């Protein structure tokens, strides 16, 4: 929605978290004729009933569109409508934050004027409060929540991968995939779609759209020892980033230097340290079975794994098969999916690994110190969302790290 379409309107900002606050600041500064009110669950239990009498609602991504009863737009749509600069949009079930951050880091290393915004925790509209150069580039991480009702496609779209996620929000796998596909529904012939060719659904989408289509490049022009990211999934993320930055004519020398100096993001196969001979990794953002499988494959020598969390209807049979294949000896199980994983373990194992069921991260870490063999890995990678016990994955990961250090010798 263009700024002139917001003029003289009575606007309700529905949801007042980080993005809602950014929307309020932006509208107040850029559309001074607008009358703005705010509704949020922390301000009123019946906040959704306050939508009457407004010309327009600006909905936060966390609120389902079905709950909006008035004409509405989103901060994402306002951003896309009012930015003429090149936007690189990155989405995917996992890997989007790492890929977006890596693209940003390479372009920054190359001296390009670039901004990292979006679902990574930096509201897009905040960047529009300051002057923007005509050559500035926006690297924008986009979640399925943001894409569910988007009306624009980026100049360059990257989809890292696709598997079941956020089905409680979208109502099922088909609607989740439909939300993700929205990112390419408005492409123009000169736009680019960059995709992971390993994924059949993405490969099918690539055949259906009218724009320039590129699979991830196959080669990484950096030696393995200089890559700071673990795992085959991260190699895919690197290939995605290389494919993007080559469109900006960035040399392989600069790309190699940038990859070497890239700092992995917290809570994503994050090395915590080696204590009492045990190697600890924090992979708190691995909130699906697929992500945890990739973590196990990347580290290989996992002696103890922490699993379980909120139940989103995931199936754990493939994860349990990997646990068996990699001979993981100790398993911590948190509710609620811990019980589902336990039932699957009993089906797959004649003799179960050592199991510790708990609701307490401190007790889980104590168990790991007692049972994990020296020179093997203790991995927090729960294969389920965090909300059964923790506020979010950051809280879960930070608790893990703090107790690991507390009980180290």
Phi/psi zone of residue 351: left (φ > 0), alpha (ψ -120 to 50 degrees), beta? beta
**Helix, strand, or coil (residue 354):** strand
CA distances in angstroms from 82 to 4, 35, 198, 370, listed in the order given: 10, 20, 35, 57
In angstroms, the CA 128 to CA 277 distance is 49
Sketch out the chain's domains with CATH numbers.
Answer: 3-76 (3.40.50.720), 83-261 (3.40.1190.10), 270-406 (3.90.190.20)
Report CA-CA distances (Å) from 203 to 286, 287, 336, 359.
Answer: 24, 25, 35, 41
The residue among 40, 48, 45, 51 whose CA lies nearest residue 12 is 51
Reported in sequence order, the residue ranges of 276-375 that DSSP labels E, i.e. its strands, are 278-282, 302-307, 330-333, 354-357
- Look at residue 166 in the predicted model and tell me its pLDDT: 85
As a whole number of angstroms, the distance between CA 379 and CA 281 comes to 5
- Specify the residue for token string 């529904």: 185
The span from the CA of 152 to the CA of 146, in Å, is: 11
* 96 marked among binding-site residues: yes
Give the containing element (helix H, strand E) for 363. helix 361-371
Per residue in 15-54, is it b (16+ CB within 10 Å) or e — as a string? bbeebbbbbbebbeebbeebebebbbeeeeeebeebbeeb
Asked whether residue 92 is marked as a ligand-binding residue, the answer is yes
Q: In 3-state terms, what secondary structure has residue 270?
A: strand
Query: What's the Rg (C-alpha) of the chain?
Result: 22
Which class for 223: exposed (0-12), middle (13-18), buried (19 or more C-beta within 10 A)? exposed
Distance CA 165, CA 167 (A): 5
**pLDDT tens, position by position, for the chain (409 residues)?**
899 999 999 999 999 999 999 999 999 999 999 999 999 999 999 999 999 999 999 999 999 999 999 999 999 999 999 999 999 999 999 999 999 999 999 999 999 999 999 999 999 999 999 999 999 999 999 999 999 999 999 999 999 999 988 878 888 999 999 999 999 999 999 999 999 999 999 999 999 999 999 999 999 988 889 999 999 999 999 999 999 999 999 999 999 999 999 999 999 999 999 999 999 999 999 999 999 999 999 999 999 999 999 999 899 999 999 999 999 999 999 999 999 999 999 999 999 999 999 999 999 999 999 999 999 999 999 999 999 999 999 999 999 999 999 999 7
Is residue 98 a known part of a binding site? yes
- Express the helix, strand and coil content of the chain in percent, nearest 5 each: 40, 20, 40
Residue 97 among known ligand-binding residues: yes
Q: Is 44 known to sit in a ligand binding site?
A: no
pLDDT computed for residue 171 by the predictor: 86
């Amino acid at each position: 929605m263009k700024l002139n379409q917001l003029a003289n309107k009575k606007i309700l900002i529905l949801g007042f978290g980080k993005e809602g606050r950014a929307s309020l600041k932006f509208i107040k500064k850029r559309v001074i004729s607008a009358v703005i009110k705010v509704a949020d669950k922390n301000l009123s239990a019946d906040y959704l009933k306050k939508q009457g009498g407004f010309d327009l609602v600006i909905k936060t991504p966390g609120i389902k569109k079905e709950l909006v009863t008035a004409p509405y737009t989103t901060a994402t749509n306002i951003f896309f409508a009012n930015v003429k600069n090149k936007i690189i949009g990155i989405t995917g079930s996992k890997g989007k934050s790492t890929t977006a951050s890596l693209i940003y880091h390479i372009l920054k290393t190359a001296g390009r004027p670039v901004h990292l915004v979006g679902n990574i925790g930096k509201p897009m509209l905040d960047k529009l409060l300051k002057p923007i150069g005509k050559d500035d580039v926006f690297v924008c991480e986009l979640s399925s929540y943001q894409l569910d009702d988007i009306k624009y496609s980026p100049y360059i779209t990257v989809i890292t991968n696709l598997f079941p996620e956020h089905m409680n929000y979208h109502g099922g796998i088909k609607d989740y995939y439909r939300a993700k596909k929205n990112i390419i529904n408005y492409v123009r012939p000169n736009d680019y779609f960059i995709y992971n060719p390993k994924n059949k659904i993405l490969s099918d989408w690539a055949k259906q759209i009218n724009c320039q289509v590129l699979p991830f490049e196959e080669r990484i022009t950096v030696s393995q020892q200089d890559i700071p990211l673990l795992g085959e999934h991260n190699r895919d993320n690197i290939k995605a980033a290389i494919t993007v930055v080559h469109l900006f004519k960035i040399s392989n020398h600069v790309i190699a230097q940038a990859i070497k100096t890239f700092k992995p993001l917290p809570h994503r196969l994050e090395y915590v340290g080696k204590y009492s001979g045990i190697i600890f990794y924090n992979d708190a953002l691995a909130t699906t079975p697929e992500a945890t499988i990739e973590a196990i494959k990347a580290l290989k020598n996992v002696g103890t794994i922490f699993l379980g969390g909120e139940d989103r209807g995931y199936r754990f049979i493939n994860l349990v098969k990997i646990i068996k294949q990699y001979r993981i000896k100790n398993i911590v199980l948190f509710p609620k999916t811990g019980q589902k994983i336990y039932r699957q373990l009993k089906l797959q194992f004649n003799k179960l690994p050592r199991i510790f069921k708990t609701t307490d991260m401190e007790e889980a870490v104590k168990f790991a110190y007692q049972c994990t063999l020296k020179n093997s890995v203790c991995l927090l990678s729960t294969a389920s969302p965090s909300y059964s016990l923790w506020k979010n994955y950051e809280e879960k990961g930070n608790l893990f790290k703090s107790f690991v250090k507390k009980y180290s010798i």
